[in-house]
Structure 1
Amino acid sequence: MTDAPHGFSETTTYIKAPARDQITDSGDVAGLVARVLADVRAEGDAAVRRYSAQFDKAELDRFEVSPAERQAALDELDPQTRADTEFAIDNVRRFAEAQLGTILPLEIEPIPGLHLGHRVIPIDRVGAYVPGGRFPLLSAPIMTIVPGKVAGCAEVVACLPPNAHRAMIAGCHLSGADRIFRIGGAQAIAAMAYGTESVPQVNKIMGPGNAFVNEAKRQVFGPVGIDQLAGPSEIFVVADASGDPELIACDLLGQAEHDVRTRVGLITTDRALAEATVREVERQLQTLATAKVAAESWENYGEVVLCADEAAMIAYSDFVAAEHLQVHTADPHGFAKKLRNYGSLFIGENASVVYSDKNVGTNHTLPTMGAGRYTGGLWVGSYVKIATHQWLEDKAVAAVAPPAIRQSGSEGLEGHQKAAAIRFDRLKQPA
């Protein structure tokens, strides 16, 4: 047992503390990424080709995947894998369509003659970064491409590392990508942000990636939109005495195998469950095929926190704002309503993160490192703009112009004052 988590010394205790802090110095990454972005912006395809050879060991005459190559990748796909992929695509599409149905255009008349509203406008061209990773993550293109197609984006451009598994090309194709490019890393973000001879410039870039991809998204943000800045994956479980240590340990390790920097944790009010879960994690690691990665993640970033009561458990969970938050309590639905900060919430023991990661329909691109305190994850709304408009009848001008004239005068903005007054004065003139 060690000291309590920072700021929670009176209500919480570590049963298992993390050995390291997930936040690391990214200075070297930032400098290298800045050079890549500058070179791609200045040199276009030539720089992309050079960095692809340097970082991915890929010598490519052309970057875009041709229709014939797309079809070949599709033909090579195992029939069951294709069926499973299409099952996931259908679920993600249905959920995105239902979400889009809640985003409605607006027209109101708050005072006579004053008409205000907004339109829901799809972003014209979006870029989907599809990470390669150590495994072919077939769910990755589904989560970034399908919502864009549902939203009505005119073009969805996908980039994936040139050494990514060919099944990933099939996944991009089935998800509806209009164009697919074999470009990875920071050079892919640069190509989509600035445009090259081969790659069209996009308006917004979606999708997770490694530290270099994340830093590249941070640096290009402004003229180009981004979905979010995502760190290593996270999973926390909040549980009371009803929790099952075997299930909890299994779910923690299911995320821990993603990356050696994955953050995993249990927040509980029950000491027996906390200690049993630590033992169960160690037991399951003995036979887990991905234990080399998962064990390092658990050792460095795993934590088990014992809370004095339910209120402390809720407070600590909201402080962590975990990317994935599972609720294993006697009344999971009632408890879930008390939680405010998370990327996505998994209510009850049946709701494992793996189902959302793969195929239930909610998006797995979620906020990490505390960002759940102020934002949710990627969704169909990320692919549209809510743009306002207004128009005024003469009777509305008569109502809004006088206070606008006075306010402009008090602010010393004569141009504003005249622009408001000229319309008001014309109302007084005979027709």
Structure 2
Amino acid sequence: MSNYKHLKSPAPPAPANEGQSSSLDVATIVQGVIEDVRSNGDSAVRKYSKQFDRWSPPSFKLSEEQIHKIIATVPEQTIKDIKTVQSNVRAFAEAQKASMKDFEIEIRPGIHLGQKNVPIQNVGCYVPGGRYPLLASAHMTILTAKVAGVPNVIACTPPIAGEIPTATIAAMYYAGADAIYLLGGTQAIAAMALGTETIPKVDFICGPGNAFVATAKAKLYGSIGIDLFAGPTEVLIVADEHASSFTVAVDLLSQAEHGPDTPAVLITTSERLAKEAIAHVEKILTETEMSTSALAGTSWRDYGEVIVVENIDEAYSLADTFASEHVQILTQNPREALDKMKNYGALFLGERTCVSYGDKVIGTNHVLPTKGAARYTGGLCVQKFLKTYTYQEVKSDQASGELGQLCGRAARAERFEGHARSGDRRAQLYLGNKYKWIYE
């Protein structure tokens, strides 16, 4: 039996009624906004935008002229960086698309089966704002949808404290959004999912967001498709005795700053490294004037975890039980994780790589499964925007007649007489079979 040693455990959970109350408040508010938007359209959207974001312009949709004026205020280096990052994202997304092939095969003489990948026609992308202008989410959602071939992509992002997030607008524009709305929160998700007088209804919504955005997507799922049921960002580091404890600490905090509820977990084979990493985290938080130390410190205190295991195989096995969103491998042989691990949103291999690269610049998608969902799904990718359809055509009389005989037997074994008769009819037409029920 494995013997894990916890050097740091998460803080005790809040009392059940406290957590349930908070969750219930979010769900109740979200449901109220959705129903109001469903009934009252634009007037409800405007009411909640003014209430939650202090934003009530004549039109939430930005005109081409407004977009270009906004982009003109963005520093030239930021525009160059946006284009470089989008080039990376585009290259990876195009490779993903190339891996998905349409095909047609003749499985038996005269029986042709095929597959086609057809893009979703109308997609809504949510680019969060809130605490930070998360322009990278524009690359991951809008650009990936356009590479998949989606003809109509609308995108929403909230103002930040009543101000326009100029760099985010630039990223949305260069990613290829067909329409940009300066609108956030539940009201944005509801407007895209339901449609209003001025905001068209979409078929699919993607993109990260806070608890209100995630809850709205979950509640509207079914009437529209969504990418993932999202939770707080997660990071898990697997490290051996060869890793730098300072690098481990820096990388744990790089994700902990996302919010006050980010799980940051270290699993290591070295107790020495574990203790040093904990010490470095505390020192960075208290002595280096990190601007996001309050958020990162709260996550570390309440959700940080450090576990020492006996060997690297136990480390990988334990990491798989977390099924974390981001899994960083800081070991002497990081690529062995590709064979050893099965449950993760994305792997980051070796000290030269870090989760922040994935979040911001490297090109793979940063919209990833959380809360253990990596056990059954991957993250956002070109495939999420494609509907894989099948088609069938029987081209020979003999093949159709023989299939008809097979279908008749198979359907009657399941007591589906109507299905059987469709098969009988083909056997009659193409093989000349006689059936008592056929009166023609």
**Same fold by TM-score, threshold 0.5 exceeded?**
yes
Instruction: Tell me what 1:27 maps to.
Output: 24
Instruction: Tell me what 1:55 maps to.
Output: 52
- The alpha-carbon deviation at position 39 of structure 1 amounts to 1.4
Describe the superposition over 1:44-101 as per-residue Cα deviations: whole angstroms up to 9, x where unpaired. 1111111111211222221101111100111011001111111101110011011111
Instruction: Tell me what 1:409 maps to.
Output: 412
The answer to whether 1:11 aligns with 2:3 is yes
Instruction: Tell me what 1:299 maps to.
Output: 301
1:195-206 alignment runs, 5 A limit: 195-206=195-206
Say whether the 8 Å CA contact 2:2–2:314 is kept in structure 1: no
- The alpha-carbon deviation at position 21 of structure 1 amounts to 5.0
Distance 1:21 1:350, change over 3 A: farther
SS of match in other structure, 1:76: coil
The answer to whether 1:356 aligns with 2:381 is no
One of 135, 142, 148 as aligned partner of 2:139: 142
Distance 1:189 1:20, change over 3 A: farther
Say whether the 8 Å CA contact 2:205–2:225 is kept in structure 1: yes
Runs of 5+ unmatched residues, structure 2: 434-440
1:335-350 alignment runs, 5 A limit: 335-350=337-352
- The alpha-carbon deviation at position 421 of structure 1 amounts to 1.2
1:21-100 alignment runs, 5 A limit: 21=13, 24-25=19-20, 26-100=23-97
Describe the superposition over 1:189-226 as per-residue Cα deviations: whole angstroms up to 9, x where unpaired. 11111111111111110100010110111111112100
- The alpha-carbon deviation at position 104 of structure 1 amounts to 0.4
- The alpha-carbon deviation at position 133 of structure 1 amounts to 2.4
TM-score, L = length of structure 1: 0.95
Say whether the 8 Å CA contact 2:78–2:167 is kept in structure 1: no
Instruction: Tell me what 2:437 maps to.
Output: none
Aligned length: 422
SS of match in other structure, 1:101: helix
Say whether the 8 Å CA contact 1:239–1:329 is kept in structure 2: yes
- The alpha-carbon deviation at position 231 of structure 1 amounts to 0.6
Instruction: Tell me what 1:179 maps to.
Output: 179
- The alpha-carbon deviation at position 20 of structure 1 amounts to 4.4
Instruction: Tell me what 1:5 maps to.
Output: none
User: What letter is aligned with 1:414?
Assistant: E
Moved more, 409-418 or 32-41: 409-418
1:18-417 alignment runs, 5 A limit: 18-21=10-13, 24-25=19-20, 26-163=23-160, 164-286=164-286, 287=288, 288-393=290-395, 394-417=397-420
Extract structure 1 runs of 4+ deviating beyond 6 A. none
CA distance in 1, matches of 2:398, 2:53: 65
SS of match in other structure, 2:340: coil
Moved more, 92-101 or 407-416: 407-416
CA distance in 2, matches of 1:402, 1:219: 46
- The alpha-carbon deviation at position 130 of structure 1 amounts to 0.6
Say whether the 8 Å CA contact 2:398–2:430 is kept in structure 1: no
CA distance in 2, matches of 1:353, 1:116: 42
CA distance in 2, matches of 1:396, 1:74: 61
- The alpha-carbon deviation at position 40 of structure 1 amounts to 0.9
Say whether the 8 Å CA contact 2:233–2:263 is kept in structure 1: yes
SS of match in other structure, 2:328: strand
User: What letter is aligned with 1:42?
Assistant: S
Say whether the 8 Å CA contact 1:11–1:312 is kept in structure 2: no
TM-score, L = length of structure 2: 0.93
Moved more, 182-191 or 407-416: 407-416
User: What letter is aligned with 2:265?
Assistant: G
CA distance in 1, matches of 2:109, 2:223: 38
User: What letter is aligned with 1:339?
Assistant: M
Say whether the 8 Å CA contact 1:12–1:312 is kept in structure 2: no
CA distance in 1, matches of 2:402, 2:213: 52
CA distance in 2, matches of 1:390, 1:354: 46
Say whether the 8 Å CA contact 2:256–2:296 is kept in structure 1: yes
User: Percent of pairs identical after alignment?
Assistant: 43
- The alpha-carbon deviation at position 322 of structure 1 amounts to 1.1
User: What letter is aligned with 2:5?
Assistant: T
Say whether the 8 Å CA contact 1:158–1:179 is kept in structure 2: yes
Say whether the 8 Å CA contact 1:137–1:168 is kept in structure 2: yes
CA distance in 2, matches of 1:227, 1:165: 24
